[in-house]
Structure 1
Amino acid sequence: MRRISWRIILAATLLMSSLVRASADDGAVIDRWYSALLVADRTELSELLSDDVRMKLDDIGVVQSKQDFIASIDEWRGAVAGAAIRHRVEKSENGETTVLACYDFPSNDTLIRETFTVAGGRIVASTQTAVAQDCSAY
């Protein structure tokens, strides 16, 4: 039986701890995202998005650039007034985090699955797909 070197164990431990930290950092970025989204904070949202981000809205067949998204913030501000957004991470691996989010608007709610790719503390890709017309499954 071969003995495992302490160096290999140390390297594996360091790698695992860096992956856990990266996942935690991604979670912090996503928490900041939803907080900024709820109040339509253009500055914070802009800081969270990479310059070359692609935001895919599956249900309506649209892909937005950072500029497209930021340009829509004033309209979003009106839509999100009085709303709540609840979210929970379903899974996070290899820099990709899948979130189930309930957008609870004053007149209706909707359940959305969103997948974020985070690199360097910024969102580099996002895909959004409606799951249900209400949040009862949240």
Structure 2
Amino acid sequence: MRDWRAVPFVVAVLTLTLAPARADEAAIIDRWYSALLVADRTELSDLLADDVRIKLDDLGVVQSKQEFIASIDEWKGAVAGAAIRHRIEKSEAGVTTVIACYDFPNNDMLMQETFAVTGNRITASSQAAIAENCDGF
């Protein structure tokens, strides 16, 4: 016969050990969007694992860390005067799904982005447009 009195204790321990991981992932995601908004090459480089793969679904492109960082100068011009709003939709097993509104001066776009995070670094990312505006975000 099993002693089920230990179940609440096990659930509490698991909840306490998983909560910091989710908080860390959320903090990394927040840092990502803050750095992306100002095209902070140093911060973005620090957030990305050396072997990261960044998949831009709409463009059919997969970038390495070096390729992504090299594109930041071009991005800096595009993001001038913009705002980026984001919310985490779900986070499980080290993968966080985010809905992000890129509000550029002349248009906006709603994106779904995923981030795999290991050891405080983004190890994989993908993004795809889900709407040509941010209505209802």
Alignment TM-score, normalising by the size of structure 1 = 0.94
Give the letter aligned to residue 118 of structure 1. V
Q: Percent identity between the aligned chains? A: 66
Instruction: Give the aligned length.
Output: 137
SS in 1 for 2:89: strand
Deviations 1:76-129 (A, max 9, x none): 000000000000001111111000000000011000000000010010000100
| 1:69 partner SS | helix
Q: How far 1:11 sits from its partner (Å)?
A: 4.6
Residue 10 of structure 1: CA displacement?
4.2
* 1:87 maps onto 2:86 in alignment: yes
Please give the alpha-carbon distance, in whole angstroms, between the structure 2 residues aligned to 1:60 and 1:84. 22
Please name the residue that 2:4 is paired with: 4
Partner of 2:55: 56
Give the TM-score normalised by structure 2: 0.94
Q: Secondary structure, in 3 states, of the residue corresponding to 2:4?
A: coil
SS of the aligned residue for 1:60 comes to coil
RMSD over aligned CA atoms reads: 1.4
Q: Which has the higher mean CA deviation after the structures are superposed, 13-22 or 123-132? A: 13-22
Partner of 2:16: 17
The answer for unaligned runs of 5 or more in structure 1 is none
Gaps of 5+ in 2: none
1:20 Cα deviation (Å)?
A: 1.1
Q: How far 1:5 sits from its partner (Å)?
A: 6.2
Aligned partners of 1:26 and 1:97: how far apart in 2? 7
CA distance in 2, matches of 1:59, 1:137: 22
User: What is the SS of the residue equivalent to 2:58?
Assistant: helix
| Mapped partners of 2:36, 2:14: distance in 1 | 33
> How far has the Cα of 1:2 moved from its partner?
2.8
| Residue 14 (structure 1) shift | 2.4
CA distance in 2, matches of 1:133, 1:120: 34
1:26-105 equivalent positions in 2, closer than 5 A: 26-105=25-104
Equivalent-residue separation in structure 1 for 2:12 and 2:91 (angstroms): 19
